[in-house]
Amino acid sequence: SSELTQDPAVSVALGQTVRITCQGDNLRNYYANWYQQRTGQAPVLVMFGKNKRPSGIPDRFSGSSSKNTASLTITGAQAEDEADYYCCSRDNSGDHWVFGGGTRLTVL
Amino acid sequence: QVQLEESGPGLVKPSQTLSLTCNVSGVSVRGDSYYWTWIRQPAGKALEWIGRIYISGRTNYSPSLKSRVTISLDTSSNQFSLRLSALTAADTAVYFCVREAYDTAWYVFDYWGQGTLVTVSS
């Protein structure tokens, strides 16, 4: 299967730690990328490859992966982290990209 | 800096063909480190990868859309385009043009247009 599965919604108290997960068989062979999408805006890359963080992304964002699961962790969540988060990876053919269904993060 | 901007009709009738163009500035579409990509998002739903094109002309399309999609590259205008035929209401979405780049041993969607809303309705 080339599908990526995410929990639809997660919440975290301000300043606490939250983990957002993404599961898929293709993650055994390919890295996951993570995109943050605030309401009404285009997505922004926040984590990619082997847990790499793009320039300008705060170091409270980190990534990890194990077997068929990739995770995005926010340590010390801030109000501005409230957004939809999408994982994305190659499908099993390697020629196409697939997105997870997205996780809506609410910061309480 | 790199910028992408979508243009095209906001309203298209069912069964017709959608044509969108992405104007790229700040980088040449001739670059051999990039794929030029279309992604869409129905209101309140997840992102969906449509397809991409490389400078060689090689294309890859989503298996679910492959029969209806054509992506092309215009190097003289530094643009790339999307054509999606046989439209239905299910094609109503915000369409993003995106650059896929190679970064630190992996590929990422690093620059996005602001998106353009396309509504399919009679």
* pLDDT tens-digit series, residues B87-119: 999 999 999 999 999 877 789 999 999 999 999
Eight-state DSSP code of residue A52: B
Collapsed DSSP state (helix, strand, coil) of residue B111: strand
Q: Do B108 and A49 touch (CB under 8 A)?
A: yes
pLDDT tens digit at each of 108 positions of chain A: 569 999 999 999 999 999 999 999 999 999 999 999 999 999 999 999 988 999 999 999 999 999 999 999 999 999 999 999 999 999 988 899 999 999 999 999
* pLDDT at residue number A31: 93
Residue B42 contacts A, CB cutoff 8 Å: no
**C-alpha distance from A94 to closest chain B C-alpha (Å):** 10
Q: Which of B107, B111, B116 should one mutate to test binding to chain A, selecting the residue with the greatest count of A CBs within 10 A?
A: B107
Residue B11 one-letter amino acid: L
Q: Do A42 and B114 touch (CB under 8 A)?
A: yes
* pLDDT at residue number A2: 67
Mean pLDDT of B29-37: 94
Nearest to A98 among B49, B105, B114 (CB): B49
Eight-state DSSP code of residue A48: B
Residues of chain A contacting B, Cβ within 8 Å: 31, 33, 35, 37, 42-45, 48-50, 52, 54, 86, 88, 95-102
Q: What is the mean pLDDT of chain B?
A: 96
The region, left, alpha or beta by phi > 0 then psi within -120 to 50, assigned to residue B104 is left
Let me know the angle formed at the C-alpha of A102 by A16 and B43, rounded to the nearest 5 degrees.
125
Q: Which residues pair with A93 in a beta bridge?
A: none
* pLDDT at residue number B115: 98
A2 or B78: which carries more pLDDT confidence?
B78
What is the distance, to the nearest Å, from the Cα of residue B89 to the centroid of all Cα atoms in its chain?
18
Distances (CA, A) of A48 to A51, B66, B110: 6, 27, 10
How far, in Å, CA of A74 to CA of A68, rounded?
20
